Structures are given as C-alpha cells and as structure tokens.
Amino acid sequence: TTLFRSIESTSAAECVRIQVRQSAMRQLWKRPKNLKPSFETKAKPKPPYTERDYPGILIENEGRFCEIFIFAWHGIDDASCDQRLPEQWHFFVVPERALGTRKKATLAELQSAWLTDNGGRNTSWESLRDAVEEVSRDLRKLPPPAAR
C-alpha cells in the first residue's frame, strides 16, 4: 500500500510502496521471559487479489512488495501504556533492499548502527513523514546491500 508520495511528484511511476509492521512490549497474552522483538520481512508470493485491486499495475510474482519498511515499536509496559497514542510509538524506516535475504529484522539491530549504515532512520511519530521522505530520496543513491 502506498502511504506517502513524494512531495515533488504525484505520478504513479514515482510512488514508493511502504509496508508497516508493528510490535509491542505489552501484549494481551503472557509475555515471554526472554522477549526478543522482531519484525517479519520474508518474501511471499503475490496475493491473488492483486490483479483485481490493482489492475494494470505491474507487480513482482514474489517478494516483499515494497521499497520501504516502517517498523513500529511500542516499548512501554507500565501504567502509562496506551498503544492508541502514536507519540508512544517509535519508528524505524528501512529501505527494503537493505534487508537482503533476511526473513526478519530484530529490534536490537534496528537500534544499532546497522540501521544508519544501511540508509535507515530511527524516528518519532512527529518526524516520521520527514524520515520516509529522506529514505525515499536516498533509495536511488544506495549501493546494493552487501552479502550477509
């Protein structure tokens, strides 16, 4: 789903496809003792509804179907926790190609130098749009991801 378009352009050819994945410390079920938050990123086959919902739009037969991932993390687990408040969430904007063949991105690596080394941004709700715009502009400048 395209969430943002470049400020300078509204043509479909210049749109950036974005996937948003979320994870939170507080869960309705019992939290594991050794929680290691991560976000799934594995490639999948093209959904059967693609032709119906996006007629005439070329899309790969298998992949992640985006140029950018936004990983949203809610790390509050006390009485102030309210997952409905976007300002309580933290966001990591990552170029899809930086993930290589990884099937998941861990919170630990998103909080490390790996993020910025691979063209990503660590941001708040208030700065999310700017971070997405920056990563979108930088997509064409990034070298291919190193073999991992």
Q: What is the DSSP string of 100-145?
A: TT-SEEEHHHHTSHHHHHTT-EEEESTTHHHHHHHHHHHGGGPPPP
Q: Is the pLDDT of residue 25 over 80?
A: yes
Cα–Cα distance between 92 and 86 in angstroms, integer? 14
Strand pairing category for 62-63 and 44-45: antiparallel
Bridging pattern class, strands 104-106 and 121-124: unpaired
The predicted-structure confidence for 70-123, as pLDDT tens digits, reads as follows 999 999 988 999 999 999 999 999 999 999 999 999 999 999 999 999 999 999
pLDDT value, residue 35:
80
pLDDT of residue 143: 57
Between CA 107 and CA 122 the distance in angstroms is 11
